[in-house]
Chain A
Amino acid sequence: MTEAVIIGVGLHPFGRFPGKPALDMGADAVRLALADAGVTWPQVQGGYIGSYEVANPDAIVGRLGLTGVPLRGVFNGCATAGTALALAARAVETGEHDLTVAIGLDKHPRGAFAADPSVAGIPSWYGQTGLFLTTHFFGMKINRYMHEHGISHETLARVASKNFRNAAANEKAWRRTPLTPEEVLASPVLNYPLRQFMYCGPNEGAAALVLCRADQAHKYTGKPVRVRSTALRSRRLGAFEVQSPSFPVGEPVDSPTVDASRAAYELAGIGPEDVDVAQLQDTDAGSEIIHMAENGLCKDGEQERLVAEGATEIGGRLPVNTDGGLLGNGEPIGASGLRQIHEIVLQLRGTAGTRQIPGTPRVGYTHLYGAPGASAVTILST
C-alpha cells in the first residue's frame, strides 16, 4: 500500500454566520484547501464529506463543480470528521484515488442539542424526566475522576483559561476573549463541577483537507504531512459512556478513546512519548483532563501537576489544543475533527504564526469522542 499525505488544508472560521448556508462555508473551506495544495477541483478524484445538520452534504458539488466525482457522505457523531479523514486516506492507500478530499461542515442552532432519545435507542421517559443530556455525562465523569485522582476545580479552570487564551490568538476561532481561571470559576455552575465557561457550545463552520499519494506529493508541496494512522472504536460493555441509563457492575472497562488510541499508536509505530502537539476532544474542561490520560499522554492524576506547570501551554512540554480546542472554537460536529487536523498541519509545517509551538515538531495527535461512545484518533507526522 502507498501512504496518504495531506497537501492542503482549508478552514472556514467557526462561529455564527447568519444567512450563510453550511454548504457555502464548506465550499469556502474546500477552495482554501485546494489553493493551499495548488490543485483545482477537476483534479480531485473522490472524497468524503460529513455533516449532522445537512442531509445531503454531497450537494456541495453544486458549488464546486459538477465533475462527476464520487463524494460519499459520512456521519459518525462527534467522530464524523475523523471518519471522513480515515476513509479519504484509505482511498489513497488502497489506490482507489490519487488525489482526494475530506470535508466537514455544519450549522447548528443556538443552545444545547435537543433530540428525541429514541434516535439513540433509549426510551422516552429518559428524555421526559430530564436525564437525556450529554452534559450530565461530562459532569459525572469528571466528578468521579476528580474524586479518584485528586484533580482540583482550579485545574478545570486553568484548562478552560488556556484554551480561551489560545483561541484569542486564532483569527478563525469563535470565543476570542481571554478569561482568567478566576473568571472561569466565577461563572455559574451548569452541571457540577462544570461551569458555563468550562463547556464548549454547538456553532457553525467548515473545514477541508486535500490528500494525495505520498510518492506524488512532491508535485504539490515541499511539506507534506503524513497520515501515520487512523483508528475508530465504539464502546464496549462495561465502559462508562454518555447516554447510558445503566451499565454493568465491576471494574469499569476502558473507554473507546483508550481502545482507539492504543490501536492508532500501534499502527503508526509511534508512542505517546513521541507526540509533540495534541488536539484532544475538550467538550468541557474535564474532558481535556481525562483525555490526556486516556490517550496515553500522561498517567491518571498527573494532570494536576502538568497543568499547574504549564506543560500543556503553547510553550510547554506537551501543548494541547493550541488553536483553542472546542472550548475556543465551538463544535460544528461535522467539521470539528478536520479543524483539529488543520491546526496540527500548520504546527508541523511551522506556519501557525503566533500560536506556533517552539522547536521542530514532528508528530501531531488528534482525538475525537462523542455519543453514544465513539472515538476517533489520527496520528500525523512530518
Chain B
Amino acid sequence: MTTTRRPVAEDLFTWPAGPDDPPWLIGSECAECGLVSFPAAPDCVRCASTESKRRLLADRGTLWTYTTQDFRPPSPPYDGPETFEPYAVGYVELPGELLVEARLTEPDPGRLRIGQPMRLTLVPYTVQDDGTEVVTFAFAPAEEETP
C-alpha cells in the first residue's frame, strides 16, 4: 500500500521532498533592507517596505533554546492524533538569517542542549482518516562535525 503524503501548508517548505530532494524552508527577504522573514512575509516589519523576494533558508543551525510538549494541545487548533506522543519544540538559529521555531525530532530534554547542531527534516505529525500523512518541518540533532 502506498501512503499519500501532503504538506501541512503550501509555500512553507519545498515539496515534494525525498531522499534526493532535501527539504528547504521557504522564507522571504525584504528588497529594501534585507530582513529575512519566516514564514515568507510580504511586508517588512523593520522598514515597512512592501517589496520582498522568496528565499530558501539554511537547512542547518544550532539549538538556541527548547522545551517539551508533554500534554496534548487543545483541539482545535491542534489536529494531531488523539493518541498523543510528547514532542519537543525549540528555536534553531540559522546563522545570518533568523531564529525559527520548530518541532524537534528528539522528545527527551536530556538529549537536547543549547548550542547543539541541528538539521532540517520533515515529519509526519498526523494521519488523516483516509490514511494521508500530513507532514510538517522539524529539526533533528545533527552529527557534530569535527574540525
Interface residues of A (CB under 8 A from B): 111-117, 123-125, 127-133, 136, 139-141, 143-144, 147, 188-194, 237, 244-249
Write out the residue numbers on chain B whose beta carbons fall within 8 Å of the beta carbon of A192.
Answer: 66-68, 70, 88, 109
Verify A140–B103 contact, CB threshold 8 A. no
Known contacts A190-B71, A192-B67: A246-B76 contact under CB 8 Å: no
Verify B101–A245 contact, CB threshold 8 A. yes
Write out the residue numbers on chain A whose beta carbons fall within 8 Å of the beta carbon of B100.
Answer: 245-246
Q: Determine how close the nearest CB of chain A comes to the CB of B87; give it in whole angstroms.
A: 7
Q: Determine how close the nearest CB of chain A comes to the CB of B103; give it in whole angstroms.
A: 7
Verify B68–A130 contact, CB threshold 8 A. no
Q: Report B91-137 residues with CB < 8 Å from chain A CB.
A: 91, 93-103, 109, 114, 125, 134, 136
Verify B93–A127 contact, CB threshold 8 A. no
Verify A246–B74 contact, CB threshold 8 A. no
Known contacts A130-B125, A191-B68: A246-B87 contact under CB 8 Å: no
- In the complex, given contacts A128-B77, A147-B65, A246-B100, what are 20 additional A-B residue pairs having Cβ atoms less than 8 angstroms apart? A111-B74, A113-B74, A123-B9, A125-B12, A127-B76, A127-B78, A128-B80, A130-B73, A130-B80, A130-B89, A132-B78, A133-B69, A136-B101, A140-B91, A143-B67, A144-B114, A193-B109, A237-B46, A246-B38, A249-B97
Interface check B26, CB cutoff 8 A:
no
Interface centre among A237, A244, A246 (most CB of B within 10 A): A246
Q: Which 9 A-B pairs have the closest CB atoms?
A: A127-B77, A139-B67, A114-B74, A144-B65, A125-B9, A192-B109, A192-B68, A246-B38, A140-B65
Q: Determine how close the nearest CB of chain B comes to the CB of A368; give it in whole angstroms.
A: 22
Verify A140–B77 contact, CB threshold 8 A. no
**Nearest residue in B to A128 (C-beta to C-beta)?**
B79
Verify A133–B99 contact, CB threshold 8 A. no
Verify B101–A125 contact, CB threshold 8 A. no
**Nearest residue in B to A147 (C-beta to C-beta)?**
B114
Partner of A116, one of B64, B68, B69, B77: B77
Verify B45–A237 contact, CB threshold 8 A. yes
Partner of B70, one of A114, A115, A117, A191: A191
* A112→B65 CA distance, assembly (Å): 22
Interface check B39, CB cutoff 8 A:
yes
Verify B77–A246 contact, CB threshold 8 A. no
Interface centre among B27, B36, B64 (most CB of A within 10 A): B64
Interface check B35, CB cutoff 8 A:
yes
* A124→B64 CA distance, assembly (Å): 24
Give the size of the chain B interface in residues (CB under 8 angstroms). 48
Verify A125–B136 contact, CB threshold 8 A. yes
* A117→B80 CA distance, assembly (Å): 16
Write out the residue numbers on chain A whose beta carbons fall within 8 Å of the beta carbon of B97.
Answer: 249
Known contacts A136-B69, A237-B45: A248-B98 contact under CB 8 Å: yes
Write out the residue numbers on chain B whose beta carbons fall within 8 Å of the beta carbon of A114.
Answer: 73-77
Interface check B8, CB cutoff 8 A:
yes
Verify B45–A130 contact, CB threshold 8 A. no
Write out the residue numbers on chain B whose beta carbons fall within 8 Å of the beta carbon of A124.
Answer: 9, 77
- The 21 sampled A-B contact pairs (Cβ below 8 Å) are A114-B75, A116-B77, A124-B9, A125-B8, A128-B77, A128-B78, A129-B78, A129-B136, A130-B78, A130-B87, A140-B66, A189-B68, A189-B109, A190-B70, A191-B69, A192-B68, A192-B88, A237-B45, A246-B100, A246-B101, A247-B98
Q: Determine how close the nearest CB of chain A comes to the CB of B15; give it in whole angstroms.
A: 13
Write out the residue numbers on chain A whose beta carbons fall within 8 Å of the beta carbon of B70.
Answer: 188-192
Known contacts A143-B66, A188-B70: A117-B77 contact under CB 8 Å: yes
Verify A136–B89 contact, CB threshold 8 A. yes
* A284→B73 CA distance, assembly (Å): 18
Partner of A130, one of B64, B69, B114: B69
**Nearest residue in A to B113 (C-beta to C-beta)?**
A147
Write out the residue numbers on chain A whose beta carbons fall within 8 Å of the beta carbon of B64.
Answer: 144
* A71→B61 CA distance, assembly (Å): 52
* A129→B80 CA distance, assembly (Å): 7
Interface centre among A130, A193, A245, A247 (most CB of B within 10 A): A130
Interface check B52, CB cutoff 8 A:
no
Partner of B103, one of A129, A143, A237: A129
* A236→B93 CA distance, assembly (Å): 19
Write out the residue numbers on chain A whose beta carbons fall within 8 Å of the beta carbon of B9.
Answer: 123-125
* A116→B78 CA distance, assembly (Å): 9
* A360→B110 CA distance, assembly (Å): 47
Interface check B90, CB cutoff 8 A:
yes
* A140→B102 CA distance, assembly (Å): 12
Q: Determine how close the nearest CB of chain A comes to the CB of B141; give it in whole angstroms.
A: 16
Known contacts A147-B114, A249-B97: A140-B74 contact under CB 8 Å: no
Write out the residue numbers on chain A whose beta carbons fall within 8 Å of the beta carbon of B88.
Answer: 192
Write out the residue numbers on chain B whose beta carbons fall within 8 Å of the beta carbon of A249.
Answer: 93-99
Verify B35–A245 contact, CB threshold 8 A. no
